[in-house]
Amino acid sequence: MKRILITGALGQIGSELTLKLREIYGADQVVATDIKKNDSEAAQSGPFETVDVTDIKQMMETAKKYKVDTIMHLAALLSATAEAKPVVAWNLNMGGLMNALETARELKTQFFTPSSIGAFGPCTPKHHTPQDTIMRPTTMYGVNKVAGELLADYYYHKYGVDTRGLRFPGLISYVALPGGGTTDYAVEIYYEAVKHGRYTSYIEKGTFMDMMYMPDALRAIIDLMEADSSRLKHRNAFNVTAMSVAPGDIAASIANYIPGFEMSYRVDPDRQRIAESWPDSIDASAAREEWGFTYEYDLDKMTQDMIEKLREKL
């Protein structure tokens, strides 16, 4: 990677990935794009262009303008929002992805887009979910992600586009607030713990989902993109994870650093239904074997860092 274009650069992943890539490759080498500009560091610290990913002409012209050799396509509606607006989600998530892939094909760039544990469904094995398994999601977001994985594979096999991707679990960060995902509670709980010492979870007690701290997720993206292409067998949908936790596990970890923290439950049936269709834990052995995936943060190490950073921020 030498000159990188990021779509959805002001979202939860993009706002941190943009800064990390600028730190590594140089501020002028990373072009951030999003549907509108804000005053965040990601928007202000280097090149920024307003780009609607459903407009292929706009995307193509921006990529050509900056002569990019890598496209990181992050623009998407997340799981809960996509379920509330399925037609909008299809048009944005799939239309935007197709435009990004066409741009990558035309300009012969390397390409990254994230998938998700949302690509799995209720028929998928719940424990130690394999890299290759049945995938029959029951949400629009999940349908988008499965279709996206297949589409990226198609562009690799038919056109030779160097497509790569990760199936992310829930991502936890103190920098940017989440934007409508089922695992958002795992971010909200830390904010509420630091601000108020209590939290009401919309996910039921005992519901396990995989999670990862954002620094590990960013390193995984960069490591995958820098990996030797000849080693990659799966390319577009590597399972990655750092921990499998339920709301009570996070609450217990927080209580070690904020004594008296209180957790209650008021379950959101829609997001609970989505959570129950996903695995309890996934197997990331293919990522370890093919490009050396590792993670640094377990639950307690993440909790300590989240609380320290949020106390500074808030």
Give pLDDT tens digits for 128-170.
Answer: 999 999 999 999 999 999 999 999 999 999 999 999 999 999 9
Give domain status of residue 292, yes or no.
no
Give domain status of residue 132, yes or no.
yes
State residue 2's pLDDT score. 87
**Is residue 139 located within the same domain as residue 195?**
no
Measured from the Cβ of residue 132, the count of other Cβ atoms closer than 10 Å reads 9
**Is residue 56 located within the same domain as residue 177?**
no
- Total domains present in the chain: 2
**Is residue 179 located within the same domain as residue 249?**
yes
**Is residue 117 located within the same domain as residue 247?**
no
**Is residue 185 located within the same domain as residue 138?**
no
Q: Residue 267's domain is classified under what CATH number?
A: 3.90.25
Token pair for residue 225? 């993109």
Burial string for 65-89 (b: 16+ CB within 10 Å, else e) reads ebebbbbbbbbbbbbbbbbeeeeeb
The residue-averaged pLDDT of 173-180 equals 80
**Is residue 41 located within the same domain as residue 76?**
yes
State residue 172's pLDDT score. 94
State residue 40's pLDDT score. 92
Nearest CA-CA partner of 197 in 300, 299, 314: 314
Give domain status of residue 287, yes or no.
no
**Is residue 181 located within the same domain as residue 267?**
yes
Listed residues 191, 224, 239: the one ending a domain? 239
pLDDT > 90: percent of the chain:
92
Average per-residue pLDDT for the chain: 95
**pTM for the whole structure:** 0.94
**Is residue 196 located within the same domain as residue 250?**
yes
State residue 1's pLDDT score. 75
Q: What is the distance of C-alpha 6 from the center of its chain?
A: 13
pLDDT at 92 over 90: yes
pLDDT at 182 over 90: no
Give pLDDT tens digits for 221-261.
Answer: 999 999 999 999 998 999 999 999 999 999 999 999 999 99
Give domain status of residue 191, yes or no.
yes
pLDDT > 70: percent of the chain:
100
199 confidence band (pLDDT: 50, 70, 90): very high
The CA–CA distances, whole Å, from 166 to 57, 185, 219, 291 equal: 27, 22, 12, 12
Residue 215 backbone zone (phi > 0: left; psi -120 to 50: alpha; other: beta): alpha
Give domain status of residue 144, yes or no.
yes
Give domain status of residue 288, yes or no.
no
Nearest CA-CA partner of 245 in 178, 186, 309: 186
pLDDT at 79 over 90: no
Rounded Cα–Cα distance for residues 299 and 164 (Å): 27
In the block, which residue shows the tokens 């390409």? 111
Range of the domain at 105: 4-169+212-239
Give domain status of residue 285, yes or no.
no
The residue-averaged pLDDT of 205-213 equals 95
State residue 180's pLDDT score. 72
141 labelled catalytic: yes
**Is residue 130 located within the same domain as residue 232?**
yes
Give pLDDT tens digits for 257-305.
Answer: 999 999 999 999 998 998 999 999 999 999 999 999 999 999 999 999 9
Q: Residue 31's domain is classified under what CATH number?
A: 3.40.50.720
211 confidence band (pLDDT: 50, 70, 90): very high
**Is residue 146 located within the same domain as residue 222?**
yes
Catalytic residue among 25, 66, 141, 174: 141
**Is residue 57 located within the same domain as residue 149?**
yes
pLDDT at 179 over 90: no
**Is residue 65 located within the same domain as residue 105?**
yes
183 confidence band (pLDDT: 50, 70, 90): confident
Give domain status of residue 291, yes or no.
no
